[in-house]
Structure 1
């Protein structure tokens, strides 16, 4: 049975205590399960290789966020979002569709302020395809795991909106509530089984995903605003013995369990849908990169011993994933640690 000790997170946690409430799209819990389920969705030739490195694919899924806050990599920040409202009121088809066209039209200052997410996904896809052509094992794993993270970000609706934390509508804190508290509380019942991956057009598919995600942003904000207005103020948040609102390790206010249940129910499976779409996207993009690279034999990059050693665990995980379930593994709990 595969487990990850919480002690491995303690050095990282010291850096994260000062981070804003919207630190991770989908939190650690969500990103790690997106990548794990996507690996299990791959066809056998690809799945064998990526499963041999499943621990890396899971842990690396949150490293793009750590680069933002642990080492303050300023170039990393705009890769995780796009504030579509900043680019004008027209349809998304009016925006530069390719990264080359975007970099030619917009200056770096605008992209750094308003986000590069859809174009950076395309950049990563090109690099992953080339790494597969070159048979560069470390590059393949690093790029694929990171690409899974950015696709996860794209499917968090608030990562496509300037109202990213409800700050424009009096709903500050909704970001962490939606993507982390709900996911950690209810995610154990989500079904992460997705279809076999298919070849996609990376440019068209990226914009389709962004459009689908953005369409959900106003919905999740409106539902929460209406629900909050209909709920007594004293019932919105969890409080301690002194009557103070509880906060998690990132200083986010913790909504009360009944209110979280009401919001999750009112969203009608939106959270699960977005996570499943992110999982399917990661599998589709990795598979497409492999096909476009000429279907190289990636399993040959590992020893037979490595593959044989993992075969039993892979079978166990595939059986569980037939029901949309995972083996027992732990993720850093953002909303279990309170102060």
Structure 2
């Protein structure tokens, strides 16, 4: 009962913080981020999965804390870690940008990085810290860093987190950020397939990080173009939900709510792009966690827990893995934006 009470208090605290946070850079919303991390845990090989699943509730809830540090605690260092506006780094190909964090920090002033985003370089830094934590057997560090790394990888696979036009504000599509990553995901998420491949060792983490960023950035233009076309083809009255007074309905973060028909049309036009990007994020999290573990020498992390902790979680793990064969995650509640 005491354990349940602590868990309930933590869940209530997270929910209270969420209610105070805006959603403009809240990639994938709570629903998406939590499922990215949970799917990643389940994809791990048994030798690593046992430890991570012992703490799956923490890893799932911690997945949204980086956003809370930014918006609720007003941590000024946090914001630039969630995005990179590639257009502001010039017209050169991505391959011509500083690839490593060391190169980026040497070439750009801190103020420039803070304004235009540090995301790919911070992912590299976090992978290094996770590897060190695993080598040193620092249980709390491992869980904290791994959960946060899952969040930033989620940000990297949300296309609008790689674009200067992050909310469609440059193309008359303001509000598309929350529409794409939260309203769409919350509406159709139960149909998504979260069964992943076995994680692979990342031979070149720097190149892989930039591959994820490049793929995501290419998708940004696609989703913006598709929504713009849909917007021009849809009568104004069919785009936004309105109240009895004819005013646009708002979600908890004061974002406009698209109509069910418009949301369905966008979903079909995207051909489930948001599902593919969420799966990419979850697979990336599993791959990066696994890579840190291998590079740390494959330490036995189960030694960091008691036998009771591991034994008590095994029945639930078996049930979740069975359900995952259908592509589904266990049903758990998340804070809903829409």
Write the distance in 1 (CA, Å) between the matches of 2:269 and 2:41: 31
TM-score (norm 1): 0.95
Query: Are 1:160 and 2:162 an aligned pair?
Result: yes
TM-score for the superposition, normalised by structure 2: 0.95
1:294 aligns with 2:297: yes
Query: Residues 272 and 6 of structure 1: is their aligned pair in 2 closer, same or farther, counting only changes over 3 Å?
Result: farther
CA shift at 1:23, angstroms? 4.1
Partner of 2:249, secondary structure, is: coil
Give the superposition deviation at 1:322.
1.3
Unpaired segments ≥5 residues, structure 2 = none
How has the CA–CA distance of structure 1 residues 333 and 314 changed in structure 2, closer, same or farther, with 3 Å as cutoff?
same
- Residue 31 of structure 2 contacts residue 185 of structure 2 at CA under 8 Å; is this kept in 1? yes
Query: Matches of residues 224-235 of structure 1 in structure 2 within 5 Å?
Result: 224-235=227-238
Distance in 2, matches of 1:6 and 1:118, equals 34
1:62 is aligned to: 64
Alignment counterpart, residue 281 of structure 1, candidates 281, 284, 292: 284
Question: Quick check: 1:147 aligned with 2:166?
Answer: no
Task: Tell me the secondary structure at the aligned position of residue 243 of structure 2.
Answer: coil
* Equivalent position SS for 2:332: coil
Aligned to 2:94: 92
Residue 20 (structure 1) shift: 3.6
Which residue of the other structure, out of 168, 186, 189, is the alignment partner of 1:187? 189
> 1:291 and 1:9 mapped to 2: Cα distance?
32
Residues 1:206 and 2:209 are matched in the alignment: yes
Q: Residue 318 of structure 2: which of 306, 315, 326 is its match? A: 315
In structure 2, what is the Cα distance between the partners aligned to 1:142 and 1:7?
A: 19
| Structure 1 residues not aligned, in runs of 5+ | none
What number of residue pairs does the alignment pair up? 333
Report how far residue 21 of structure 1 moved.
3.7
Contact 1:6 1:332 in 2 (8 A): no
Aligned partner (choices 224, 240, 243) of residue 246 of structure 2: 243
Counterpart-to-counterpart distance in 2, 1:18 and 1:194: 33
| Kept in 1: contact 2:20–2:72 (CA 8 A) | no
- Distance (Å, rounded) in 2 between the aligned partners of 1:326 and 1:273: 16
Structure 1's 174 and 140: CA in aligned 2 closer, same or farther, altered over 3 A? same
Give 2:103's match in structure 1, choosing from 101, 106, 120: 101
Q: Is the partner of 1:186 in helix, strand or coil?
A: helix
Structure 1 runs (4+) greater than 3 angstroms displaced: 3-21
User: Displacement, 1:9?
Assistant: 5.7
CA distance in 2 between counterparts of 1:212 and 1:55 reads 30
Q: 1:100 & 1:65 partners in 2: Cα distance?
A: 25
RMSD in angstroms over aligned alpha carbons?
A: 1.7
Contact 2:230/2:266 (CA < 8 Å) preserved in 1? yes
Partner residue, 2:179: 177
Deviation by residue 1:177-219 (Cα, 9 ceiling, x = unmatched): 0000000000110001110000012101000000000000000
CA–CA distance in structure 2, aligned partners of residues 122 and 257 of structure 1: 39
What CA distance in whole angstroms lies between the structure 2 residues aligned with 1:244 and 1:191? 36
